[in-house]
Structure 1
Amino acid sequence: MTEQGITTRIVHSDRHGGVEHGGLHKPIHSSVQYGFERVEDLIGVFQGTVKGGFNYARQGTPTTAALERKITALEQGVGTVCFASGMAALSAVFLTLLRAGDHLISSRFVFGNTNSLFGTLGELGIAVSKVDAGSVAAVEAALRPSTRMVFVETVANPGTQVPDLAAIGDLCRRRGLLYVVDNTVTSPLLFRPRTVGAGLVVNSLSKTLAGHGAALGGAVTDVGGFDWQGWPNLFAAYRRGDPAQWGLTQLRKKGLRDMGGSLSSEQAHQIGLGAETAALRVAHTSATALAVARFLAGHPAVAAVHYPMLESHPQHALAKAHFSAGSWLLSFELRDAATTLATIDRLRIPIKATGLGDTRTLVIPVAPTIFWEAGAEGRAEMGIADGLVRLSIGLEEGADLLADLEQALPRR
């Protein structure tokens, strides 16, 4: 039998994994504590010698474990740890795997809250260099003897810059660096970072995978591209058993048990349900986003459109080489920046709200909101124009969105 498609596998994954009473979905396990007939088994769960057991919900539940299996399958990884949000997942990666004196290289085109987190890392003694990751030469030039990790987003939010993913992966492999790729905008439905040598993949589950704006969550997946035996920052207690699991063990123990960034069973259940329709949603939103981007690019009131699948995009060739579609994120700038807020107010369908990957189209002016804290200098470094408008395309009919944009855009 040929390998089944990803949607077929996801919608049947719970029942094939064994569900109580013949249910089709893993139920919501609300219990915090988990009991054992033999105290030896409880000890085994604590010490990691008993696999698949649960002792306290802060480190996971049967419901979150079911979601972790789904995400591992989507990313074709060796294991996943889920968190309460995408930022909790990123925080766990940086704060549990790096130490004072280490050096991190990041694309300078990253999500505003990620950029804010980098400021915190600096205060803790972890140096961060931000470079234009569209050039692997820029990444290589930033290397130091203390460099441990390289971090990029597949498509930057909100400017849609695309890093030189494969070349950076090759550099990390040659230099023994941990390559961390945030796959949130593309998702594993459009791109799998393991194909470019990533070691860890981060996903904000609130976006494509949940998709309904009703659940927060994040995940870190080890896709098998890094040898943890050479990583100096692992605690001795976690260097046991299969080395492929060492990094995940530290993320779970430190990021969940110690730091408390735990995903609830209720949220995990909602995300798991959303994942069943993710492939259908991302196909629709990608097609609509491309149509919207082309419409905006041809409108006389629009000065610039940022969408990787537009031929005019600076990294269009990279995007075409790696991504099967462009996803739901795009941004644009008006020729007269002074008309930006009035234009947004005239829109009837897009909701004026932050967030991404919802079933509804969302719109926000970037500089005075999600990147306000970065300041004018920081925004300039990240290519954020004062009049930049971000759109997250939803499931509405494309014709309705185009008509709404047409009536809202300034006349020239």
Structure 2
Amino acid sequence: MSDQKSYGFTTTIVHNDRRKGIEHGSLHKPVHTSVAFGYADARQLASVFQGKEPGFRYGRQGNPTIAALEDKVNQMEQGVGTICFATGMGAIGAVFQALLRAGDHVVSSSFLFGNTNSLWQTTMAQGVGVSFVDATDVANVAAAITDQTRVVFVETIANPRTQVADLRRIGELCQARGILYVVDNTMTTPYLFRPKSVGAGLVVNALTKSIGGHGNALGGSVTDTGAYEWTRFPNIYENYKKAQPQQWGLAQLRAKALRDFGASLAPEAAHHIAVGAETLALRMERTSSNALALAQLLEGDERVAAVYYPGLASHPQHGTSSALFRAHGSLLSFELQDGIDCFDFLNRLTLAIPASNLGDTRTLIIPVAHTIFYEMGAERRASMGIAESLIRVSVGIEDEADLLEDFRCALAGS
């Protein structure tokens, strides 16, 4: 497979391993389980450790199976380099563990995955200031920036209320101010959207979700898009400035978040994710189509009080989503009318499964306030627009007619 020819998204990902050659002619990169790597020449070992030539040092910082996945994700995001981590939260945590210091400031969207919100509380307790803003309007981000702001962090489509950040204009703001722009692309995936296109310097993906896509492996990644000038970032340690400036961020992330912090992806998980990633485009086309059909069904039912899905014309950021994304994704949420017990409704479903994951081949559904957002309390939930009756749906690849009939029957029993 020629490196010179330009291929489409799926062709590139399916054949990516073969571009660099695979042992014994295998079509998939094998699972390398060794945590140590020997060298016949001790000088070469030293050279690898000193970063003078490529090679593997120790399993905590990567191995051939993980490197193949990193290259695959990097191709998806069109980055200059990608690092994989044990989980999506490990990837998000790595950014702050490796790049922030006490006294720094972050501007974050207030519409966040519950665990990311919890991570911010921990970060604040360690001396980093965080301002939560409504990121659907760049003016709110601009108003929160201070001289100590090092990072602006947003999700593309917020989990679970599906607010869409003002991604392009936030990117322009960060570029003008020299601030690192970090975008969590999990809900859209690099098939529906590439944050590099709006100036994101770092892109986070929870590989556990749609990229792996089968609910059988945990993983996360951070991709450096090349859009940020690391010479503008004040927190790079001197020993990571030996490489070209474009590599400074990746070098510090790999050392501080993998070598020192140990949030390392297992090779078996990397293999599962890499194989799952080959069908990402096919699955996102199907799940996005199913999600739109389900959202339309729910919006037209009198027993449903509200539906949140960017593909609906009624969504406040429908125009933004339509302009930026190839499709509107597989995540939606809705509220039932007062007097309808959400648990009774969930128990009437036969295909949709009560479970907490996202991006699976199966449709998964969960009462948000009672589970994944329970710990943050009613006041914080209210500030994020999360009603006590909110139900989140991660739409799968089931046949559309079967999926719609499942929800139609469950609603009819309300």
Scaled to the shorter chain, the TM-score interval is over 0.9
Let me know the Cα RMSD of the aligned residues: 1.0
Deviation per CA, 1:111-164: give whole Å up to 9, x if none: 000000000001100000000001100001101111111000000000000010
Deviation per CA, 1:236-267: give whole Å up to 9, x if none: 11101221111011111111110010001100
TM-fit CA distance, 1:335: 1.2
| Residues 1:37 and 2:24 aligned together | no
Distance in structure 2 (CA, Å) of the matches to 1:106 and 1:355: 23
The residue type paired with residue 352 of structure 2 is P
Distance in structure 2 (CA, Å) of the matches to 1:353 and 1:119: 25
TM-fit CA distance, 1:366: 0.1
Structure 1 unaligned blocks of 5 or more: none
1:9 to 2, 8, 12: 12
Secondary structure of the equivalent of 2:15?
A: helix
Distance in structure 1 (CA, Å) of the matches to 2:309 and 2:136: 15
1:318 matched to which residue of 2?
Answer: 320
Distance in structure 2 (CA, Å) of the matches to 1:387 and 1:125: 35
Secondary structure of the equivalent of 2:159?
A: coil
1:387 matched to which residue of 2?
Answer: 389
Distance in structure 2 (CA, Å) of the matches to 1:243 and 1:347: 53
1:409 to 391, 398, 411: 411
The residue type paired with residue 25 of structure 1 is H
| Residues 1:224 and 2:215 aligned together | no
1:308 matched to which residue of 2?
Answer: 310
The residue type paired with residue 287 of structure 1 is S
Q: How does 1:138-153 map to 2 (within 5 A)?
A: 138-153=140-155
Deviation per CA, 1:349-405: give whole Å up to 9, x if none: 011110100011000000010000110000011111000000001111111111111
Identity %: 58
| Residues 1:130 and 2:128 aligned together | no
TM-fit CA distance, 1:17: 1.0
1:109 matched to which residue of 2?
Answer: 111
1:157 matched to which residue of 2?
Answer: 159
Distance in structure 2 (CA, Å) of the matches to 1:2 and 1:398: 37
1:304/1:334 contact within 8 Å kept:
yes
Distance in structure 2 (CA, Å) of the matches to 1:127 and 1:330: 31
The residue type paired with residue 262 of structure 1 is S
Q: How does 1:12-27 map to 2 (within 5 A)?
A: 12-27=15-30
1:96/1:251 contact within 8 Å kept:
yes
Distance in structure 2 (CA, Å) of the matches to 1:341 and 1:57: 45
1:86 matched to which residue of 2?
Answer: 88
1:170 to 149, 163, 172: 172
Deviation per CA, 1:44-65: give whole Å up to 9, x if none: 11111112x0010000000000
Distance in structure 2 (CA, Å) of the matches to 1:338 and 1:350: 18
Deviation per CA, 1:269-295: give whole Å up to 9, x if none: 000000111110010000000000000
Distance in structure 2 (CA, Å) of the matches to 1:6 and 1:35: 36
The residue type paired with residue 63 of structure 2 is T
The residue type paired with residue 31 of structure 2 is I
1:362/1:391 contact within 8 Å kept:
yes
Secondary structure of the equivalent of 2:376?
A: helix
Distance in structure 2 (CA, Å) of the matches to 1:59 and 1:3: 31
Number of aligned positions between the proteins: 411
1:106/1:130 contact within 8 Å kept:
yes
Deviation per CA, 1:293-323: give whole Å up to 9, x if none: 0000000101110000110000001000100
2:53 matched to which residue of 1?
Answer: 50
TM-fit CA distance, 1:235: 1.3
2:102 matched to which residue of 1?
Answer: 100
Distance in structure 1 (CA, Å) of the matches to 2:154 and 2:131: 12
Secondary structure of the equivalent of 1:372?
A: coil
1:235 to 234, 237, 257: 237
1:301/1:411 contact within 8 Å kept:
no
2:199 matched to which residue of 1?
Answer: 197
1:76 matched to which residue of 2?
Answer: 78
TM-fit CA distance, 1:6: 1.2
Distance in structure 1 (CA, Å) of the matches to 2:393 and 2:72: 28
Distance change (3 Å), C-alpha of 1:2 and 1:39: closer
Distance in structure 2 (CA, Å) of the matches to 1:257 and 1:342: 48
Distance in structure 1 (CA, Å) of the matches to 2:259 and 2:211: 25
2:365 matched to which residue of 1?
Answer: 363
Secondary structure of the equivalent of 1:80?
A: strand
TM-fit CA distance, 1:3: 2.1
Deviation per CA, 1:15-66: give whole Å up to 9, x if none: 1211011111111000000001111111111111112x00100000000000
Distance in structure 2 (CA, Å) of the matches to 1:158 and 1:166: 21
Distance in structure 2 (CA, Å) of the matches to 1:80 and 1:117: 22
After TM superposition, what 4+ stretches of structure 1 lie above 6 angstroms from structure 2?
A: none
1:337/1:386 contact within 8 Å kept:
no
Distance in structure 1 (CA, Å) of the matches to 2:339 and 2:314: 21
Secondary structure of the equivalent of 1:15?
A: helix
